[in-house]
Copies of this chain bind each other. A is one copy, B any other.
Amino acid sequence: MKTADVVVLGGSAAGFTAAVTARRHYPEKKIVMVRKEDLVPIPCGIPYVIGTIGDNEKNIIPDTGLEKNNIELFKACGQEIDCENKVLRTDSEDIHYDRLILAVGSVPTIPPIDGIDKEGVFFIRKNIEYLKKLQTAVSKASSVVVIGGGFIGIEFADEIKKAGVDNVTILELAPHCLSLAYDNEFCIEMEELLRSRGIKIKTECKVESIAGDECVSFVRTDDGEEIPADMVVIGIGAKANSKLAEEAGLRIGRTGAIIVDKTMRTSDDNIFACGDCSKKIAFFGGRPSPLKLASIATTEARIAGANLFGITRESTGTVGVWSTSVGNLALGTAGLTESMARAQGYNIVVSVIEGPNRHPGMMPGAAMIKMKLVFDAKSGVILGGQVRGDATVGEMINTISVCVERKMNASEIAIFQTGTHPMLTASPVAYQLVNAAEMAISKMRNN
């Protein structure tokens, strides 16, 4: 039997980061990563293989990071956790652990649709061989239906179009694509852009069946429309992969995720869990959060990895920070959108500002930034922010994320010290984050 101080089960974003973090905090410990995959795709990069990168083997989390950090890679499939004896049984050798980190991810949600098992129907699996087949199918397809208009759905749709497929249609249950991620006005901008790029979008529609002989030939929606398709991609979400944990007797939440405390410890003190497989608690309100993102996974992994032999870090709860980009348009959210905040019963003040991210605004490369901030009306504390703009949105949203996590109020944000430059940002007079906060204060006064 192998033996290690730390065993990390899973090699994607959470597992990799947990192992590296464990190494940084416990230089003397023996750390083994157990994973079944030969190559691990960068999860967020998966859609971009289709049209932009072109090759799945160029979208890989490199094993050099493991070697550099003296983490042993043991390719095996975890099959059972013997908590009492602290042993992970695999399809190869078993391993005795002192601490175990479960970073086993999620599995795609498979909707109960008639015809879902036909040839040509694909889910998003973090598996290179599977993704290669998906890539091949795209290269042969002339009509693709993407079921689900969330991040994955719109990114896949755009990349499939980019790869040369003539007819690409997104089917979405909600009134708008991305409606779990952004307020409607932002969703509509993205939909308009997607349509201008030749992608068809049909919202408020339910898929009734996927039809065809062996292979898919069309998708039927609940209003009776039949959309021709020689390929279907389903991206409607994922559920925590908690099978092993459940069988081992660890506590599992109602939605199927492994229950962890703020330190990322499971109901067994020697076992931690992080990433898509572990239960998340929302930063605001403290209810379970359904979010599953690689960025959340890595934050949790940095908590789990540090805490293995002595608790030093606690999760503040899942804020929810993300961004999306199609063409030159980028959207980002940190914390609550207006609709989320209202749905959760917050009494809010919203401020919206729009302006260029260069100064003067006619500087080359300028893009119009639209920023929307949501504040608690009583305390003035920021609940969230959304940004629309160009590539700088990816970092802007992280500035807002720090403001949210630090529970800054509008006045503190209004006088936070920004650096500005004509070629890089809005002017200091017009800097959107600061001004949107200042405008919110005026509204609070008038409330």
Please report the C-alpha to C-alpha distance between residue A318 and residue B425 in the assembled complex, in whole angstroms.
20
Interface string of A12-37 (1 = CB under 8 A from B): 01001100010011010000000000
- Shortest C-beta distance, A388 to chain B (Å), equals 13
Given A398-B399, A402-B406, A411-B312, residue A363 in contact with residue B48 (CB < 8 A): yes
Which residues on the B side are within 8 Å of A324 (C-beta)?
A: 421
Q: Give chain A's interface residue range (CB within 8 Å of chain B).
A: 35 or more
Which residue of A13, A60, A61, A298 has the most chain B CB atoms within 10 A of its CB atom? A298
On whether the beta carbons of A364 and B405 are closer than 8 Å, the reply is no
Interface string of A343-374 (1 = CB under 8 A from B): 00000000000000001101111000000000
Given A17-B429, A424-B393, A425-B394, residue A58 in contact with residue B419 (CB < 8 A): no
**Which residues of chain A in 404-447 are interfacial with respect to chain B, using CB atoms and an 8 Å cutoff?**
405-406, 408, 411, 414-425, 427-429, 431, 433-434, 438-439, 441-442
A319 within 8 A of B: yes
On whether the beta carbons of A323 and B398 are closer than 8 Å, the reply is no
Which residues on the B side are within 8 Å of A313 (C-beta)?
A: 411, 415
On whether the beta carbons of A419 and B362 are closer than 8 Å, the reply is no
A45 within 8 A of B: yes
Which residues on the B side are within 8 Å of A363 (C-beta)?
A: 45, 48, 52-53
On whether the beta carbons of A302 and B415 are closer than 8 Å, the reply is yes
Which residue of A16, A360, A431 has the most chain B CB atoms within 10 A of its CB atom? A360
On whether the beta carbons of A441 and B24 are closer than 8 Å, the reply is yes
A88 within 8 A of B: no
A333 within 8 A of B: yes
A146 within 8 A of B: no
Interface string of A315-344 (1 = CB under 8 A from B): 110110111110000101110000000000
Please report the C-alpha to C-alpha distance between residue A398 and residue B402 in the assembled complex, in whole angstroms.
10
Which residues on the B side are within 8 Å of A316 (C-beta)?
A: 417
Which residues on the B side are within 8 Å of A306 (C-beta)?
A: 411, 414
A193 within 8 A of B: no
**Which residues of chain A in 207-240 are interfacial with respect to chain B, using CB atoms and an 8 Å cutoff?**
none
- Shortest C-beta distance, A302 to chain B (Å), equals 5
On whether the beta carbons of A427 and B44 are closer than 8 Å, the reply is yes
Which residues on the B side are within 8 Å of A61 (C-beta)?
A: 429
On whether the beta carbons of B401 and A360 are closer than 8 Å, the reply is no
Which residues on the B side are within 8 Å of A394 (C-beta)?
A: 392, 419-421, 423-425
A203 within 8 A of B: no
A128 within 8 A of B: no
12 extra A-B contacts, CB within 8 A, seeds A294-B427, A394-B424, A394-B425? A13-B429, A25-B442, A45-B422, A59-B360, A294-B420, A295-B417, A306-B414, A333-B419, A334-B417, A391-B423, A398-B425, A402-B402
Q: List 30 A-B contacts (CB under 8 A).
A: A24-B441, A25-B442, A44-B420, A44-B427, A48-B423, A53-B362, A53-B363, A58-B362, A60-B360, A61-B429, A296-B417, A298-B428, A299-B415, A299-B417, A322-B421, A324-B421, A325-B424, A330-B424, A332-B419, A334-B419, A391-B392, A392-B394, A392-B395, A394-B421, A394-B424, A395-B398, A395-B425, A398-B419, A402-B408, A406-B408
8 closest A-B pairs by beta carbon, nearest first, are: A394-B424, A321-B419, A395-B395, A325-B423, A295-B428, A298-B428, A394-B425, A402-B402
